[in-house]
Copies of this chain bind each other. A is one copy, B any other.
Amino acid sequence: MVAVVDVARVAGVSTATVSRVLNGHPSVREETRQRVEAAMQSLNYRVTVAARSLRTSRTRMVLALVPDFANPYYAEIVRGLGASAREHDYELLLCDTGLSEARERTVAQMLNRHFYDGVVCMDPYTTQQMVSEEVRSLPWVACSEFVPDEQIPHVSIDHRLAAKDAVLYLLAKGHRRIALINSDERYLYAQQRRDGYRDALREAGLQERADYIQIVGGIDHPLGELAARRLLALDQPPTAVFAVADTLAIGAIKATMASGRQVPDDLAVVGFDDVPLASIFEPALTTIAQPRRELGEHAMQLLLRRIAGEMPSSVTLAHTLVVRRSA
């Protein structure tokens, strides 16, 4: 393995000078710098992160905790994180936390190895709450989900307002019987979107109906089908439904069409997230889009400032209502 000492020998300088060149230190004569760089070239020198890290306790590597790789929602966020990281000469690595508490320990170990300069966490807030204090000692920011009332910087949209917008849109279309399909109210986003749904109804002077609220415990599309079947079986079925996830919305559409009804004529459906499938599915989904890439970019910027010792405040980004055919 070729080390700084080898480069130094070839360039006819000391290891200190090589190190200075390596780190762009200004106090190196131009001619010397060139000689050193030539030597690095010819020897094909590569810095050894382990050694550097041992010395500086910095690796210029950051870790993102991704709850679920199969969920395309995260893909674009990860792109944003990566782009922003590379821009500042950091390398982004990913870890699939798999939504399972069993993996929690493994992840904790990873974090405890004194290896990453910082962490972007996208896990649901229940999981985040479990993360031990010691681990949190490293620079840490949350993206998308976050623990309310905690001093951890995060970036997110205003889920409550977004949900309200979705329902206001249905109201504007003339709907008065609007149902909610929610996933699992242990998630923060689920609580907030439910609140937004209520806000809109209240603002329209409508009474909330318990039988119009379906909490199905997850976001897989069969759960959406189940919810829709229940809603359609009511004496007075809703004419529109707001689902807190696109997958749930698509399930709802499938069940509606399977029952011989039409979307959006018999039941208008609005989803949330604008996953790729939303535009592919027939009828294409009206949904709330999150600025996923920007979410990632901002989260990384927050993290880099944390690493630099600052304590930046959280940011909230704007959502969009994407109107397609389903409502």
Q: Mark A24-58, 1 if CB is under 8 A from B, else 0.
A: 00000000000000000000101111110110010
Which residues of chain B are near A46, meaning CB under 8 Å? 112-114
* A49 to B114 CA separation, bound complex (whole angstroms): 7
A169 contacts B by Cβ under 8 Å: no
Which residues of chain B are near A69, meaning CB under 8 Å? 69, 74-75, 78-79
Count of A residues near B, CB < 8 Å? 45
Do residues A280 and B94 form an inter-chain contact, with CB atoms below 8 A? no
A234 contacts B by Cβ under 8 Å: no
* Stoichiometry (number of copies): 2
Do residues B72 and A70 form an inter-chain contact, with CB atoms below 8 A? yes
Which residues of chain B are near A82, meaning CB under 8 Å? 96, 98
A257 contacts B by Cβ under 8 Å: yes
Which residues of chain B are near A54, meaning CB under 8 Å? 48, 50-51, 54
Which residues of chain B are near A96, meaning CB under 8 Å? 78-79, 82, 94
A306 contacts B by Cβ under 8 Å: no
Q: Mark A88-114, 1 if CB is under 8 A from B, else 0.
A: 000111111010000000100010111
Q: Mark A238-266, 1 if CB is under 8 A from B, else 0.
A: 00000000000010001001000000000
* A82 to B86 CA separation, bound complex (whole angstroms): 25
* A46 to B53 CA separation, bound complex (whole angstroms): 16
Do residues A48 and B113 form an inter-chain contact, with CB atoms below 8 A? yes
A76 contacts B by Cβ under 8 Å: yes
* A112 to B53 CA separation, bound complex (whole angstroms): 16
Q: In the complex where A70-B75, A78-B69, A91-B110 touch, is A50 in contact with B47 (Cβ < 8 A)?
A: no
- Chain A residues 247-299 with CB under 8 Å of chain B are 250, 254, 257, 276-277, 280-282
* A28 to B287 CA separation, bound complex (whole angstroms): 63
Which residues of chain B are near A86, meaning CB under 8 Å? 106
Contact of A280 (CB < 8 Å), options: B50, B70, B106, B277: B277
* A118 to B14 CA separation, bound complex (whole angstroms): 33
A128 contacts B by Cβ under 8 Å: no
A134 contacts B by Cβ under 8 Å: yes
Which residues of chain B are near A106, meaning CB under 8 Å? 86, 91
Please give me the residue from chain B that is nearest to A251 by CB atom: B280
* A315 to B276 CA separation, bound complex (whole angstroms): 33
* A93 to B92 CA separation, bound complex (whole angstroms): 10
Q: In the complex where A50-B53, A54-B54, A94-B93 touch, is A280 in contact with B114 (Cβ < 8 A)?
A: no
- Chain A residues 148-175 with CB under 8 Å of chain B are none
A221 contacts B by Cβ under 8 Å: yes
- Besides A91-B110, A94-B96, 19 other CB < 8 A contacts? A46-B114, A48-B54, A48-B113, A49-B50, A49-B114, A50-B53, A50-B57, A54-B54, A69-B69, A70-B75, A70-B76, A79-B98, A86-B106, A92-B95, A254-B280, A254-B282, A257-B282, A277-B277, A277-B280
Binding site for B on A (CB under 8 A): 1, 44, 46-51, 53-54, 57, 59, 69-70, 72, 74-76, 78-79, 82, 86, 91-96, 98, 106, 110, 112-115, 134, 221, 250, 254, 257, 276-277, 280-282
